[in-house]
Amino acid sequence: MAQSEWQDAVITRGRDTRRRVLSSTCGDAAQAVADPIGNSTHPPEEPTMTASTTRRTTAAHSRLAAVGAIAVAGALLLTGCGDQTEENGSGTSDTASTSAAPLADKLPQAIRDKGVVKVGSDIAYAPVEFKDDSGKTVGIDPDVAAALGKQLGVKFEFENGTFDTLITGLRSKRYDIAMSAMTDTKDRQEGIDSETGKKVGEGVDFVDYFTAGVSIYTKKGDDQGIKTWSDLCGKKIVVQRGTVSEDLAKAENEKCPTGKKIAIEAFDNDQQAQTRLRAGGANAGSSDFPVAAYAVKTSGGGNDFQLVGEQVEAAPYGIAIAKDNTQLRDAIKAALDAIIENGEYQKILEKWGVTEGAVEEATINGGK
């Protein structure tokens, strides 16, 4: 990895991704219709986020989210367009755009012209963003993004990338936003390396849309005597590289006595870490709570893993946006507030069993 990419990777996580739809005819709109929550892949019944939460005392980061190129017009667009054609003889693109995408005019003109918001995401973090059996990108973030797109009149197209390079891609304008279960922290906002306290890159702005803590899990039926992070001393843990889990393990390792240090093995993605634990190559793993709970529920039909101890450091996931793109930031915030108000946001979280992480309103740079 090049030096500049490495510097961005340091701050990127603490955990832990084209056509314009403003058509002038109902026929064009019909091609774009998709239901972001009703017709996407239905997950297995999820454990809700009810585990008790403890505020973490270390400066940690978490991973963040999103997926899928999902169409942005809904069934109401088709109904409304059809009615208007009957009553007025013909529909107009301006009227159709207003009804289908009430917040489109808030976007930067360049994005409106493209009809696409490019999203950088590490699409291997179920249930936040992942590939289903057919190869389709699904999850919490893709569904939220599709709902945002319906408000803004554009598609959110997800591009897969490793988590610790997402801010680099944002800076180079490969992506318009990064949405990948990324925890909003002051260090990320300011481009600070949390370990050294030095500025290592350009900061980003966040639009916060979810809250999650971090959990430890072990093989089912064998908790290895682990109840808290301090119980990891003398044991081996597997984590995703650059995540809050890795940060926590490193911080705890500093407290362990000589001869009982924590062996930390980091992987490019969480699925690789789970595979190592499943094979008996470690004592425990750690992920954001929604991800750990999903693995416990689904891996091996629910027979592979179990959660141990409590969640720590409930903190906001944020959609990352370049500091100089305030118009896009504010448009996304407005769209998020709109789907919270109209109930679509709540339905998405209910679908994935993560309602405990809901926020009441969109917040800019709410991380600490």
Domain boundaries, the chain: 3-212+316-364
* pLDDT of 268 higher than 80: yes
pLDDT score at 99: 59
**Weakest mean pLDDT among 115-129, 162-176, 314-328:** 162-176
* pLDDT of 281 higher than 90: yes
Rg (CA), the chain: 21
Residue carrying the six token digits 């702005």: 205
For domain 3-212+316-364, the question of CATH label 3.30.1180.10 is answered with: no
Instruction: State mean pLDDT over 132-140.
Output: 96
Q: Percentage of residues in the chain with pLDDT exceeding 70?
A: 73
**Weakest mean pLDDT among 211-215, 286-290, 353-357:** 353-357
pLDDT score at 207: 99
Residue 322 CA to residue 352 CA, distance in Å, equals 29
> Is 105 in contact with 151 (CB distance < 8 Å)?
no
* pLDDT of 138 higher than 90: yes
Assign 52 to helix, strand or coil: coil
79-110: per-residue pLDDT in tens? 444 343 333 333 333 433 445 899 999 999 99
Distance of CA 136 to the CA centre of its chain: 16
pLDDT score at 168: 87
* pLDDT of 215 higher than 50: yes
> Is 212 in contact with 290 (CB distance < 8 Å)?
yes
SS3 content of the chain, % helix, strand, coil (to 5): 40, 20, 40
Instruction: State mean pLDDT over 107-132.
Output: 96
In 3D, which of 59, 5, 8, 15 has the Cα closest to residue 266? 15
pLDDT score at 336: 99
> Is 41 in contact with 126 (CB distance < 8 Å)?
no
Residue 11 CA to residue 14 CA, distance in Å, equals 7
Q: Percentage of residues in the chain with pLDDT exceeding 90?
A: 64
Confidence of residue 242 (pLDDT cuts 50, 70, 90): confident
Residue carrying the six token digits 């998020």: 336
- Asked whether the CA dihedral 337, 338, 341, 345 is positive or negative, the reply is negative
Q: Which residue would you say has higher pLDDT here, 104 or 310?
A: 104
Angle at 91 between CA 336 and CA 339, to 5 degrees: 10
Supply the pTM of this predicted model: 0.69
Q: What's the mean per-residue pLDDT of the chain? A: 80
Q: Structure tokens of 116?
A: 């696409």
Residue 227 CA to residue 195 CA, distance in Å, equals 26
Q: What is the DSSP letter of 43?
A: P
Residue 106 CA to residue 334 CA, distance in Å, equals 8
